[in-house]
Amino acid sequence: MEKVTVDKQFSLRANDFLKGMYVSVIAPIILLILEQFQIGNFSLDWKGLGTLAVTTFFGYLLKNYFSYSRISVIEPNSTTESLIKKAVK
């Protein structure tokens, strides 16, 4: 059975917020690791890390909000697969 998902432009889903939170946690960790290699000592700038986390969260949400509409077909049937293959050629 085919499953079709539609991601409309100018809309956000709960999954977008969850992924945005992942990105906002990962970005400061990467920055922290890179700074430790450059500086050599372990010092935390909580204000800078917090600003980076908030900025990446809202940046990710804005990217998803303004991205074009997208239709995804999950588990396509044979007819849909053949139409997609013809369209891609």
Q: Quick one: pLDDT at residue 24?
A: 96
Count of structural domains, the chain: 1
Q: According to DSSP H, which parts of the chain are helical?
A: 14-39, 46-66, 78-88
Q: Quick one: pLDDT at residue 58?
A: 97
Q: Quick one: pLDDT at residue 67?
A: 93
Domain region containing 37: 3-88
Stretch among 9-13, 39-43, 47-51, 54-58 having the lowest mean pLDDT: 39-43
- How far, in Å, are 18, 43, 49, 73 from residue 28 at the CA level? 17, 13, 5, 34
Residue 47 has pLDDT above 90, yes or no: yes
- Provide the token pair at 4: 């079709």
Q: What is the mean pLDDT of residues 60-83?
A: 88
Could you tell me which residue, 26 or 41, shows the higher pLDDT? Answer: 26
